Structure 1
Amino acid sequence: MAKNPHKFAMIKAGLSTELQVLSYQEGFYAYMKLCFITSVFFAYPIIIYQIWQFVSVGLYKKEQKYILLFLPISYAAFVVGGLFGYFLLIPFGLQFLIGILGPGIQPIITMGTYVSFVFMLTVALGLVFQLPLVMLLLSKIRFITPDKFISWRKYAILLIFIIAAIVTPPDPFTQTMTAVPMIVLYELGILISRPTKKGFIVLGAIVGGGVILLAAVFFYLTHKGGEIGLLNAQGNIQVLYPRGKEWKPVLNHVNFRNGITLKTGSEGKTAILTKKGVDVGIDANTEVHFHDAWKIRLKTGQVLISMKESEVPFEIDTPNGRIRTNKGTVNIQAGDFETIVTAVKGEATLLVEGEEKKLLEGRQHKMTIGGEPVDIGAIINWSEGVLTKSNEKK
């Protein structure tokens, strides 16, 4: 689940969703950081309570009453702010940042930088959503009047955009998406800082509406149309879902999300259309894993890849190497010891043991790792007589 914003952005951009690590310890540090930030998120009420225990002795009874009333609302606002960032602001912000790179640039997103950026921003937005409560508290203890908040509005808006520029990536889209809710929160703080019950009702309605909106966005992101469409199924075809342990039968015209593995039986065949418009024909006795919109892994069997010209290459991993194609039709037969690639239409690029080869249209190439298989028995047969005579002379 922690990877959802990254997966959303990369799938939209048609790129691999894998995170990278640049050192042995980076993954460990990233997990530790993730655990720390998550613990802060869930331990927020306890943290606030401990702070309250420290400052309450110096407050009047009336001030203590207000703060005790605000604590549960403060936690609700913190959760709503964090969820707003995690499920709405961050995914679309990452999508924008990846999208402006343009063709020819391959982003390398490391696990450490991703965890730091996403979860620190999530916590920051949770704290930002405390703004109306802070304004209400300051007005209740008569430290700042609502009229002052109104007169400071233009300066507050400028300060909000400065803060948004600091806590978000350096792009106007994410900055604006962060600043606009903060401005709304500031206006909400002015509204509820007046001593009326209406202010609390409005606050509860906005928090509740925010929860409903976030739930709707989460449902959309997790239940929207599949990335893979199974157009035609013949014979025995099974699917293994990303976290599943059992193969399940497949019917015609079913949509799947990335991460599935399809397996055909001895009489099974099917045709797949990815969301990026790549046709994948799957032959009998074939097992193929759909990594993302632009990458599959052919474990065994035969597939036919057909696609229109694209700046982003479609990749096919096999036990004996990797194939890339930007347009045309490529047929691939994968086995344990060799993979036969045929460029039916257009060209393909083959990557075997660190070497890159170009496969021209109408040509075929056998990909092997560690050399091609050979009949060792034939070599032993012809050499036995020679070795025997040599030993006799000795």
Structure 2
Amino acid sequence: MSDTSQPPSQEDSFISHLIELRDRLIRAILAVVIVFICLFPWAKELYAALAQPLIASLPQGGQMIATDVVGVFLVPMKVAMMVAFLIALPYVLYQVWAFIAPGLYAHEKRLVLPLVVASLLLFVLGMSFAYFLVFPTVFGFMAKVAPEGVAWMTDIDKYLSFVMTTFMAFGVTFEVPVIVIVLVRMGIVELHKLKSARPYVIVGAFIIAAVFTPPDVVSQFMLAVPLCLLYELGLFLARFIGSGKPEGEAESEKKTA
């Protein structure tokens, strides 16, 4: 007769973690799908709102075009899916948090949860900055420099690709304070070394801006300057948060966890 009081083996524990991971992934995907289904009837309106900065800058009589037969259907669906993911993102992050939280120590939980919330807010702020400030500026500049007699129009799929790339660039850029805080808090890089790296950060910011923005000075400055300022903000906040706990205190907390 087998002894049922024995603790679960390492293999059983690993399988149980995989099952939990699968369940939480399914819940996260279902949340995105449910929100997408709810947004489906308004897919065209969502794309119209996304295209508004460009449409407002087009010359009189200008319009967007679709060179792909199914583009008029697929592109609005992609926009609806993107919006659905953003709406469901807090629940998706909750599922991620619920999966990893049991394996964290108390001081790690106190650090991770605020950083996750701050990362989400900063990413959305970066996208908003791109939509409300960068797009009108860039599209207005492009409309002015278009040669006489040239019909300045764009394919809706290419426009979506440009928007997604720009959103990602500015969303990740606005994560710089969180990255700096994590590097200092985890003791990966000392604060004074990050301060001494300012010249390299400035050069890197303009290189990144040149890669991810249109080839005009205005949009490059609108990405590079916030990146540098956010780096300084991260350095400022890292002074108050400081590095991780002393080794002895961290070991003591691990033993009592």
Q: TM-score, structure 1 length as denominator?
A: 0.46
Q: Which amino acid aligns with 1:37?
A: M
| Structure 1 residues 122 and 98: CA distance shift in structure 2, 3 A | same
Give the total of aligned pairs: 194
Larger fraction in strand? 1
Distance in 1 (alpha carbons) for counterparts of 2:154 and 2:142: 12
The structural deviation recorded for 1:149 is 1.1
Change (3 A) 1:44 1:156: farther
Corresponding residue SS for 1:139: helix
Indicate whether 1:72 and 2:120 are aligned.
no
Q: CA deviation at 1:179?
A: 0.8
Q: Which moved more, 1:90-99 or 1:50-59?
A: 50-59
Amino acid at match of 1:94: F
Is 2:234 aligned against 1:195? no
Shift of 1:136: 1.2
* Equivalent position amino acid for 2:50 in 1: A
Choose which of 76, 80, 83 in structure 2 pairs with 1:35.
80
Distance in 1, Cα, partners of 2:228 & 2:130: 15
**Shift in Å, 1:80:** 1.3
Structure 1 residue 189, shift from structure 2 partner: 0.8
1:151 aligns with 2:193: no
- CA contact under 8 A between 2:62 and 2:153: conserved in structure 1? no
Q: Structure 2 matches for 1:273-352, cutoff 5 A? A: none
Pair 1:104 & 2:149 matched: yes
- Cα distance per residue 1:248-289 (max 9 Å; x no partner): xxxxxxxxxxxxxxxxxxxxxxxxxxxxxxxxxxxxxxxxxx
Establish whether residue 130 from structure 1 lines up as the match of residue 183 from structure 2: no
Q: Which amino acid aligns with 2:121?
A: A
Q: Deviations over 1:47-78 (max 9, x none)?
A: 43344445545544312211112222222212
Residue aligning to 1:89: 134
Quote the Cα distance in structure 2 between the aligned partners of 1:120 and 1:182. 16
Q: Distance in 1 between matches of 2:133 and 2:214?
A: 15
How has the CA–CA distance of structure 1 residues 138 and 63 changed in structure 2, closer, same or farther, with 3 Å as cutoff?
A: farther
CA distance in structure 1 between the partners assigned to 2:204 and 2:103 by the alignment = 31
Q: 1:36 to 1:50 in 2, by over 3 A?
A: same
Whole-angstrom CA distance in 2 between matches of 1:49 and 1:3: 31
Q: 1:164 to 1:55 in 2, by over 3 A?
A: farther
Q: Residue type of the partner of 1:185? A: L
Q: C-alpha offsets along residues 328-362 of structure 1, whole Å, 9 cap, x if unaligned?
A: xxxxxxxxxxxxxxxxxxxxxxxxxxxxxxxxxxx
Which segments of structure 1 move beyond 4 Å, counting only runs of 4 or more?
A: 53-59
Change (3 A) 1:46 1:144: farther
AA of the residue aligned to 2:198: R
Aligned to 1:19: 64
Q: 1:60 to 1:141 in 2, by over 3 A?
A: farther
Q: Where in structure 1 are there 5+ consecutive unaligned residues?
A: 198-394
Query: How far apart, CA to CA, are the structure 2 residues paired with 1:120 and 1:38?
Result: 15
1 CA distance for matches of 2:81 and 2:138? 24
Q: CA 1:49/1:31 → structure 2, altered by over 3 Å: closer, same or farther?
A: same
Mapping of 1:100-249 within 5 angstroms? 100-195=145-240
Deviation at 1:122, TM superposition (A): 2.0
User: Contact between 1:20 and 1:108, CA under 8 Å: does it hold in 2?
Assistant: yes
Q: Which has the higher contact order (CA 8 A, sep 6+)?
A: 2
Could you tell me how far apart the structure 2 residues matched to 1:145 and 1:57 are?
A: 29
1:8 Cα deviation after fit: 2.5
Q: Is the aligned partner of 1:7 residue 2:55?
A: yes
CA shift in 2, pair 1:149/1:48, >3 Å: farther
The equivalent of 1:375 in structure 2 is none
- Structure with the greater alpha carbon radius of gyration: 1
CA contact 1:56–1:64 (8 Å) conserved in 2: yes
Contact (CA 8 Å) 1:81, 1:128: kept in 2 or not?
yes
Superposed displacement of residue 101, structure 1? 1.8
1:37 touches 1:120 (CA, 8 Å); kept in 2? no
| Aligned-pair identity (%) | 31
Name the CA distance, whole Å, in 1 between partners of 2:162 and 2:139: 10
The offset of 1:183, in angstroms, is 0.8
Q: Which residue identity does 1:115 align to in structure 2?
A: L
- Matched residues in 1 for 2:220 and 2:56: separation? 19
Change in Cα spacing, 1:48 to 1:128, as seen in structure 2 (3 Å) is farther
Residues 62 and 152 of structure 2 are in contact (CA less than 8 Å); yes or no, is this contact kept in structure 1? no
1:143 is displaced (CA, Å) by: 1.9
Query: More helix per residue: 1 or 2?
Result: 2
When normalised by structure 2's length, the TM-score is 0.68
Alignment of 1:315-394 (within 5 A): none
